[in-house]
Each structure stands twice: as structure tokens, then as C-alpha cells.
Chain A
Amino acid sequence: MEQAIQFTLNNKPVRIAADGERKLLWVLRYDLGLTGPKCGCGQGYCGACTVLVAGEAVRSCLMSLKDVAGREVVTIEGLARNGRLHPVQEAFMEHDAMQCGYCTPGMILEAVALLRKNPKPSREEILKSMDDNLCRCGAHTRIVAAIESVARSLSGGPTR
């Protein structure tokens, strides 16, 4: 059933008339013209579709559109602010934390949400909270290194 739904997307208000039961991923990708959130499974297993909703990492392939009404959604396209990359994006570049790059948007947003909650995660904590984000290319080692470097800089230490 079509309904008007409002939310904030990458810092801008959006208003869309759509069936509120549709999953956010498809609305972002096909109604709102974004392609940063990827579909790797559409079933909640891989994390490629991860976006931030009110600062929490969620699987946009599972979240219904109506559930983001009135909330703030951030996709990979909206992570850089005022032309400056987010430190996690920078760290992914510096550490070469990607190969094919298909999992990368989801990985970065998952890491951003983790660091927001826990700015100084241990290696164990990083492995645990990233565990449901899949990468087939095996970029894991460098993704962990990238996240660790941001954690170090957040705690004021050297970043490398």
C-alpha cells in the first residue's frame, strides 16, 4: 500500500510515496538513485547493503521503508562531509583494505557504527562486530588494520 514516508537521507530531507513494506535497499537503489548500498544476498547474510539508521549499522535489505520514517539514514555516499572523507574511508584507502570493492561500502559503515559505540575496540572486538560482513576477496587482514588505525587515532595515538 502506497504511503508518504519522510526521512533524512545523507543529511537531506526526503519524502517518498511508496509501499512502506518494501525494503529500504531497493528504494535507495531504484527509487532514490543511490548505488552505494550493494546487494550481495538480499537475505541479511552478507552485509553488503549496510547503511546507518540513526547511527546504527542495519541491513537495508531487511529493513522496511516504513521503519525509517522520521529517522536519519546515511549511506556510503553521505559519509564524507564538506568534501572531507570520514577517517574510516581514509584508513581503508591508506591500508588498501579492498580488492573488488563490492563489500567495501558495507564494511566501512559497519566499522563507523562500531567505532561510534566503542572508539577503542580490541582486535577481538573488531573481529566479532565485523563477523557478519562477508568479503570473498579476503581483504579481512587489511580491513582490520584499517579499523585498528582509526581506533588508535581516536584514542590519540599514532595512526600507523
Chain B
Amino acid sequence: MKDEYLELDFRDLPDRKTGQTEGDSPLEQSLEGFSADRREFLKVVGGGILVLVSLGEGELLAQGRRGGGFGRQLPSDWNAFLRIGEDGRVSCFTGKIEMGQGVATSLAQMLADELNVPLENVDMVMGDTDLCPWDMGTFGSMSTRFFGPPLRAAAAEARAVLLQLAAEHLQTPAAELKAENGAISVKEHPEKKVSYAELTKGKRIERRLKEKAVLEEVSEFTIVGKPVLRRDALEKVTGKAQYAADVRLPGMLCAAILRPPAHGATLKSVDTSEAERLPGVRIVKEGDLVAVLHKHPDNAAEALGKVKAEFDRPQSDVDDKTIFDHLLKVAPEGKTVASGGDLKRGAELATGVVEATYLNSYVSHAPIEPHAALAKIEGEKATVWASTQNPFGARDEIARRLEISSTNVRVITPFVGGGFGGKTNNQQAVEAAVLAKAAGKPVQVVWTRAEEFFYDTFRPAAVVKIRSGVDGAGRIVLWDYHVYFAGERGCQQFYDVPNHATVSHGSGWTAGAGTHPFRTGPWRAPSNNTNSFARESQIDLLAAKAGADPVEFRLKNLTDERMIRVLKTAAEKFGWTPKKAPSGRGLGVACGTDSGTCVAWIAEVEVDKTSGVVEVKRVVCAQEMGLVINPEGARIQMEGCITMGLGYALAEEVHFKGGEVRDLHFGSYQIPRFSWLPKIETVLVDAKDSPPQGGGEPAIIGMGAVVANAVFDAAGARLLQLPMTPERIKEAMGKRG
């Protein structure tokens, strides 16, 4: 199995055609520069006002960088699209998808404010590759940060068009008009008024926006910044919300697919004769893909149980214990990510030097919704409903596999039941398409929990080695940091250290063959959980070495104003009183930064010294993320991050032997449960005047360190490996001395 979970190959995309030259008007009303299919599409969307926006090159580059280097070539064409229909309703067409992070709500909030319409009048059309402009995918806390600004610009442009139309209609200069509640009125004579619907009726106006439009002042926003409830809540509490596995087509069949016992195993022989005899069963063999089809998935699975198969298994001894030595052995030369001063000088200045090696295991995404897809093939055209974080990536993968053009594949993304990075792997969508083609009927593929664990693109196991030192005044003077296979995100320390070097060996998940025994991939805040665990644990070791309180030690070594502010906020909210660790209180602190957002955590734990079981009792988390579009949504994401982070901190770890994954169900792979729930307190640090930053991931990155530091404070035991299982805690307590 080759490493191919992120099929974001921009080489498949049409060339960039900006259709704009210097000095052109920022608005262009022609459709020149669009590919033929796009032009066709624009004709079918209907009347009203259409605004198309291209993201600036800088923003796209930043997206590519932030996403972990998959921005090889930039997409062309436009990236956001907005329509004010002839009924006055606002529709936003976006390739982003809703998987629980609340973008369907926050993007709609932004539009409603910019266009002065009630939130209910905004419709979001998401993740449909035939209707929505190309999009790289929904991950990396990027939706609001990068997609928000062009969308706001599109809305502002649409509003300008409306004002112009209203000026004609009302015979009043645009400057004397105001937009409110889906209508435009004369400021001095509010009774002179015309609704958006009246203005757009029978019209067909297209605008293409390249430069920044005049945006509404944040202070004029009435919806952004106010907590609003999720727009999808009613559908979700009544069971009406549709996920990919809920889509039904007449005549559809459900697939149960023959799977190898281990990664790297190849099919030697297969006997399907017994299964074939069962009523309603069809067998499809497409190369190595052997599937049993039936109109009921349970009957298909039962028949699959009657398929006899033999596999050749590769010899591989690496397991969850030996993996770290293996990784260090195969690690490539490092790449220096940051450096300054002179490490030798740092070592001379240091009165106390601490060296430590941090380990963390493979971790599964484990969304409760397994990968699902339903494919229908009609002639040359494939339509696939899929649970995916990157519908356009899925479309291109399906096209390649079926050997048809991407324009003949339509991927539709219903609600996604959690992704966390794992649903950038679209294998199930390709399988459904292949089987549908072979069967001549619509085919549904829904992975079992075992398949979900087996084919997951795990967060890579990784090693971090740090050598660092403090001087007699309690200042960090040396920081020598090497990370192996976690990746760069979050590896740069943000303390004020004069002599430092940060080196990354091997990337997060595009490591060469022979590195990992299975596929790995981006996992909520990729790289950063591993890097933050190591860094913030090490900072605590230095604080202990300096005999200082861990909060005061951090404040003393920080110069970043934003970080200082969030740390002080968290400490104040918690009611922190300074004491050197281990104080026996069970309190820990950590700081981190991700997606432009600064976060500080303080946790309180209790360690049962006989069993080694940790109970996290309270977590305070302060976050500064620039302008907050939906504060309630932001808090929900923070709570989610904190709760989810308890899993990799305390229990989550994939056990394996060679390519054989041993944890294949929720009985052995434990994710956080209600009984683990600490009291969670979140604080959003106000920063209205800076642009919105990412909110879906940052609050998870410090969870390993904050719990490890609190465990140290409680029991004097320093945990250098995640997860901190009871066995590891007891072992560390034994070593304490």
C-alpha cells in the first residue's frame, strides 16, 4: 500500500487563468478565464446577482504551507461564490464541508452581517463538486481564516451592486442609502424602501472580484461576534440530518469487502463458492478488490464470512514497543527549522542542563461515523455521496481510478460525522465507485469499525529529543531540539532563548517507504500535539531545575505579548498560587500556539498511586484567536479539543505487530468517555482588532503536556511517553527519586 492518503495533487487541475491584467478594473463582468465546464455551470445556477472571488495568491500560498506542504501548484479559477437569488435569499457555494466544526454557521454569520440580511436568509451549499468552486479541503483550522476574508469581500461586492441598483430604483444617491434586514432604504426617509428580492428580480448580474472590496467595519456587525446556536441543530436532534451512509437509491447494493489480515499482505487465493450460494448475494472481483454485495449490509457481511481466502504476509517484526528505535534508525538527516545564537555558548552559560527523549505512539482518528460512500454510475458519469474532508480530492481519485475525466465525477458531501484529518483518505469512495461500475448498480460501502481502525491514517509515532539549559538567574539559555517524524508544525519554541536550534527529521506523514508499518496522516493539529507535549514538558523540567514555579518560570522567559496575556488569563481564572513542582497539589500548566492562535492550559489531576490511574478534575483553557466570529462555536471547539485531547494523553495508542493492527474495536482502543470528564472552563481572550485565527484545533495541542506536568506535580513522576497509561505512571513513580 503506498502512501497516498492525501490525494491533493494540483497538477490535475487546469492551469491558472486569472483573466486579469494590471490596471484592469477590479470587477470584471465577463466569464472569460473560466474553464468550459465552469462556464456551463454558471449558466445553470440561475438569475440574480452572482459574485465570484479568487483568493489572493498570498492566501493560497499560506494555505498550502499551513496544510503541510501540499501546495505544489496553486489552483486556478475562483474559490468562493455567492448568489443573491431572485427571491432575495443569499446562497453561498463552498467546497468546505460541515463535520461538526460549525463552519456552516460561522460562514453564514459572516455573510448575513456583510449583506445585512437575517441569518435565516442565508443558505449554505457545501461540498458538492458540481455546484461549488474548487476547494483544497476542510482541515487545518483554515475555513474561517482563509475562506472568510474572500467570502466577506464577495458579500461586500454584492452589497455594493445592490446599493447601485437601489440608487436607480429609489432615485437617490447610493451614499444616502442604507442596507438593513434584506432591504435598502433612504436614510432620511426610511419609508422609501426596496427589498433585495425586488432588486434582483429578472436580473442576471455577474461580478468577478480580484481585489479587496470595502468591508463592513467589525463594529457594525450585528451577528458576527454574537453567540448563535448551530444552524444544523434541529436536523441533528430529530435524526433528519443525512450522512453518507444514510443516502438511499433504488436498487442499491451494500458491499462487504474482503480485507487482508495485515498491511502489506497480498491475496494468494480466494474461494467464494459457498458465499455465492446464499440468496441475494453477488460477488464482485476487481483485481485485488473482492466484495460481497447484498441489499442488506448485515447479509453481505454474513456472506463475506463464508469467503475463504489465503494471503501472503510480509515478514515484519516492528511493533508498538520497538517502533521508536526503528524510527530513530531510519530517520533522515534533519532540516533546521529555526536557529539563533550559538549552542556551545548556551551550554557554557547554563548552570543546569536537562536532556530528555519524548515518545508518542500511533493514534487513531476514530470518528464515530466510519468512512462511507454510495456510488452511482450512469454511462460515463459517476455520482458519489461520500463522507470526506476533501470532496475535490475524492473526485480526482475516483476519476483516475475509473479512467474518466474529473468533470464526469460528481462528489456530494452530506454531513460528515467527524473527520479530524482522517477523512482526507477517500479509499472508500473509490471502492464504492469501482464496485458500482462492476455491478451495474448503485453500491454503498460503509466501513466496519475494524476496517476503520485498520485503514485509518494514524497520527505518526514520533520521537523528540531535547537538550536545554537554564542559567543561575532562571533564564533559558540553551535549546537544542530534534523532532523525528512528527513534522514541523508547532516545533518552534516561542520562549526568549538566545541560543537555540530546532531540527526536524522526516516529515509528519509523508515519510519514505519502510518508515511506518501502515499509512499515517494528519490528525487534528498535525505535528503540534507531539511537539507541544515535548516542549512544554521540557520547560517544566527546566522550571524544576531552576527551583521556580512553572507559571512564573514561563512568564519570566516569555516576551510574546499574546502568549503572556493568555497565560496570565488562564492562571488568574484558575486561581493559581505559585509553588515549585512537585507540590503535591496535582497542578500543571502548558502553553502552545497553532493556526495563529495562542493558548494556555492549567489542569488539576489526582493520581491514584497504587493503580496509577489519573483523574483529570479540572481544565482551564484561555485562548486568543483574533476576532471571534461565533464565540459559542469557538468555546464548543475548545471543549471538544480538551475532551478529545484527554484520549491521546491518557489512553490512546495503536497496538500492532508488523502490518497487523491489534486494536480493531472500541473495547481495546479507548477514547474519552463521560466518566473521564473534567470540569472544563474556557476563556476567550478578546482581540477584536486582529483577523480571525483558527479555532478547531489549537486547544488540543497542549493536553499531553498539561496533564504530564500535573501528574509530575501530583506524584513527582515525569512521564516522557504518551499515552500516560497506569502502567507507565507506576513505572515512572518507581523511578522517581
Q: Which of B577-593 contact A (CB under 8 A)?
A: none
* Assembled-state Cα–Cα distance A132/B369 (Å): 16
| Residue in A30, A94, A138 whose beta carbon sits within 8 Å of that of B639 in the complex | A138
Q: A30-B295, A138-B641, A138-B643 are in contact. Are A96 and B632 (CB under 8 A)?
A: yes
A30-41 contact mask (Cβ, 8 Å, vs B): 1 or 0: 110111111111
**Which stretch in B231-239, B378-386, B595-603 binds the other chain?**
B231-239
**Which stretch in B95-103, B332-340, B529-537 binds the other chain?**
B95-103
Among residues of A, the one whose C-beta sits closest to the C-beta of B247 is A35
| Residue in B100, B370, B674, B675 whose beta carbon sits within 8 Å of that of A137 in the complex | B100
**Which stretch in B83-91, B415-423, B454-462 binds the other chain?**
B415-423
Among residues of B, the one whose C-beta sits closest to the C-beta of A127 is B674
Q: Are A42 and B415 in contact (CB under 8 A)?
A: no
Q: Which of B200-247 contact A (CB under 8 A)?
A: 229-230, 232-243, 245-246
Q: A40-B449, A46-B368, A46-B666 are in contact. Are A100 and B415 (CB under 8 A)?
A: yes
Q: Is B446 an interface residue (CB 8 A)?
A: yes
Q: Is B680 an interface residue (CB 8 A)?
A: yes
Q: Is B298 an interface residue (CB 8 A)?
A: yes
* Assembled-state Cα–Cα distance A90/B94 (Å): 30
Q: Which of A1-51 contact B (CB under 8 A)?
A: 22-23, 26, 30-31, 33-43, 45-46, 48
Residues of B within 8 A of A30 (CB): 254, 295-298
* Assembled-state Cα–Cα distance A52/B133 (Å): 43
Q: Are A99 and B102 in contact (CB under 8 A)?
A: yes
Among residues of A, the one whose C-beta sits closest to the C-beta of B302 is A22
Q: Are B233 and A48 in contact (CB under 8 A)?
A: no
Q: A102-B367, A134-B673 are in contact. Are A141 and B100 (CB under 8 A)?
A: no
Q: Are B239 and A102 in contact (CB under 8 A)?
A: no
Q: Is B642 an interface residue (CB 8 A)?
A: yes
Among residues of B, the one whose C-beta sits closest to the C-beta of A126 is B674
Q: Are B665 and A43 in contact (CB under 8 A)?
A: yes
| Residue ranges of B at the interface with A (Cβ–Cβ < 8 Å) | 99-102, 229-230, 232-243, 245-246, 248, 254, 295-299, 366-370, 415-418, 420, 446, 448-449, 632, 636-637, 639-644, 665-667, 671-675, 677, 680
| Residue in B100, B233, B245, B677 whose beta carbon sits within 8 Å of that of A92 in the complex | B233
Q: Is A77 an interface residue (CB 8 A)?
A: yes
Q: Are B674 and A102 in contact (CB under 8 A)?
A: no
| Residue in B101, B233, B236, B666 whose beta carbon sits within 8 Å of that of A134 in the complex | B666
Residues of B within 8 A of A133 (CB): 674
Please give the distance in Å from B687's CB to the nearest CB on chain A: 23
Q: Is A131 an interface residue (CB 8 A)?
A: yes
| Residue ranges of A at the interface with B (Cβ–Cβ < 8 Å) | 22-23, 26, 30-31, 33-43, 45-46, 48, 75-77, 79-80, 85, 89-90, 92-94, 96, 98-105, 108, 126-128, 130-144
Among residues of A, the one whose C-beta sits closest to the C-beta of B446 is A39
| Residue in B233, B296, B448 whose beta carbon sits within 8 Å of that of A31 in the complex | B296
Question: Which of B240, B636, B680 lies at the interface centre, i.e. has the most chain A CB atoms within 10 A of its CB?
Answer: B636
Q: Are A104 and B236 in contact (CB under 8 A)?
A: yes
11 CB-based A-B contacts, threshold 8 Å = A26-B297, A33-B248, A39-B446, A43-B665, A133-B674, A134-B666, A136-B367, A138-B640, A138-B644, A138-B672, A140-B677
Q: Are A41 and B666 in contact (CB under 8 A)?
A: yes
- Given contacts A99-B636, A135-B368, 10 further A-B pairs with CB under 8 A are A30-B297, A36-B238, A38-B245, A38-B369, A43-B665, A85-B237, A126-B674, A134-B671, A136-B366, A140-B674
Among residues of B, the one whose C-beta sits closest to the C-beta of A18 is B296
Among residues of B, the one whose C-beta sits closest to the C-beta of A89 is B237
Please give the distance in Å from B599's CB to the nearest CB on chain A: 15
Q: Are B233 and A96 in contact (CB under 8 A)?
A: yes
* Assembled-state Cα–Cα distance A128/B643 (Å): 17
Q: Are B446 and A128 in contact (CB under 8 A)?
A: no
Among residues of A, the one whose C-beta sits closest to the C-beta of B643 is A138
Please give the distance in Å from B355's CB to the nearest CB on chain A: 35
* Assembled-state Cα–Cα distance A77/B417 (Å): 18
* Assembled-state Cα–Cα distance A103/B237 (Å): 10
* Assembled-state Cα–Cα distance A132/B417 (Å): 18
Question: Which of A39, A92, A99, A131 lies at the interface centre, i.e. has the most chain B CB atoms within 10 A of its CB?
Answer: A99
Q: A40-B449, A42-B449, A136-B644 are in contact. Are A144 and B229 (CB under 8 A)?
A: no
Residues of B within 8 A of A26 (CB): 296-298
Residues of A within 8 A of B248 (CB): 33, 35
Q: Are A100 and B370 in contact (CB under 8 A)?
A: no
Q: A38-B369, A89-B237, A93-B237 are in contact. Are A130 and B636 (CB under 8 A)?
A: no
* Assembled-state Cα–Cα distance A42/B666 (Å): 11
Question: Which of A75, A96, A138, A143 lies at the interface centre, i.e. has the most chain B CB atoms within 10 A of its CB?
Answer: A138
Please give the distance in Å from A63's CB to the nearest CB on chain B: 13
Residues of B within 8 A of A39 (CB): 245, 370, 446
Q: Are B100 and A100 in contact (CB under 8 A)?
A: yes
Please give the distance in Å from B266's CB to the nearest CB on chain A: 27
Q: A26-B297, A136-B644 are in contact. Are A76 and B675 (CB under 8 A)?
A: no
Q: Are B239 and A76 in contact (CB under 8 A)?
A: yes
* Assembled-state Cα–Cα distance A136/B366 (Å): 7
Q: A26-B296, A35-B242, A108-B237 are in contact. Are A40 and B632 (CB under 8 A)?
A: no
Q: Are A93 and B298 in contact (CB under 8 A)?
A: no
Q: Are B449 and A41 in contact (CB under 8 A)?
A: yes
Q: Are A75 and B418 in contact (CB under 8 A)?
A: no
Q: Are A130 and B674 in contact (CB under 8 A)?
A: yes
Per CB-CB distance, the 4 closest pairs between chain A and chain B, nearest first, are: A36-B239, A102-B417, A138-B643, A100-B100
